[in-house]
Chains A and B, each alone.
Chain A
Amino acid sequence: TQLLEQSPQFLSIQEGENLTVYCNSSSVFSSLQWYRQEPGEGPVLLVTVVTGGEVKKLKRLTFQFGDARKDSSLHITAAQPGDTGLYLCAEAGGTSYGKLTFGQGTILTVHP
């Protein structure tokens, strides 16, 4: 079973600061997804990365997939209070139909 390690577990920053969240595995990812979950809601997909070295941008969020497809990072520039939430990485795909394997998550709090 693929084990995904996310770091840090908690992140508390001031509005305007930058931050990076990491997701690592000892095995190669089929594909890697990042989700954001707000309190009382289900996770919402932010991005899927498939190709080693891939970089995707979503407004102030930048997602990178490692060349060896064993690690990924999420970088947020100039964080805002609305970015507060639980950020989860998940491995998807392969023959494990409908199964996502999630990391433990990073709880981000952005203070005004």
Chain B
Amino acid sequence: KAGVTQTPRYLIKTRGQQVTLSCSPISGHRSVSWYQQTPGQGLQFLFEYFSETQRNKGNFPGRFSGRQFSNSRSEMNVSTLELGDSALYLCASSFTGSSQAFFGQGTRLTVV
């Protein structure tokens, strides 16, 4: 069974630009969550999608958004990038009703 796939693995963007990150969950998993990981703040929850609906949202500004498609694949978008958005963005998928999260390898975003 293929694991959670995130693309791209690495990304360098300039302040003010926007970026879209992609996540393909494990087959059969309908819940997809996104996290931001930084050395200072650790792992912080961004949002969670289930059946194309956002069910839960973390405490991030509106520049951070996401969506989920009918095949459960998910994308997150960050607009008007700031230097502080540099981080490892992790996606996790879960089977319905399970708290066990399977994480992808992450996308390393660097904003210059």
- Residue numbers of A with Cβ under 8 A of B are 31, 33, 40-45, 48, 88, 90, 92-93, 96-105
Contacts and interface: CB of A to CB of B under 8 A. Distances in A.
A98 B42 contact: no
B64 interface: no
Contacts of A98: 31-33, 48-50, 55-56, 92, 94, 101
Contact of A100 (B33, B49, B50): B33
Q: Most chain-A CB neighbours within 10 Å: which of B44, B92, B99?
A: B99
B58 interface: yes
20 contacts: A31-B99, A41-B105, A42-B90, A45-B100, A45-B101, A90-B43, A92-B99, A92-B101, A93-B99, A96-B56, A97-B31, A97-B48, A97-B50, A97-B56, A98-B31, A98-B32, A98-B50, A99-B48, A100-B92, A102-B44
Q: Most chain-B CB neighbours within 10 Å: which of A31, A42, A48, A88?
A: A42
Majority secondary structure of chain B interface residues (helix, strand, loop or mixed)? strand
B101 A100 contact: yes
A106 to B, nearest CB: 11
A39 B75 CA distance: 23
Contacts of B50: 97-98
Nearest to B43: A102
Nearest to A6: B42
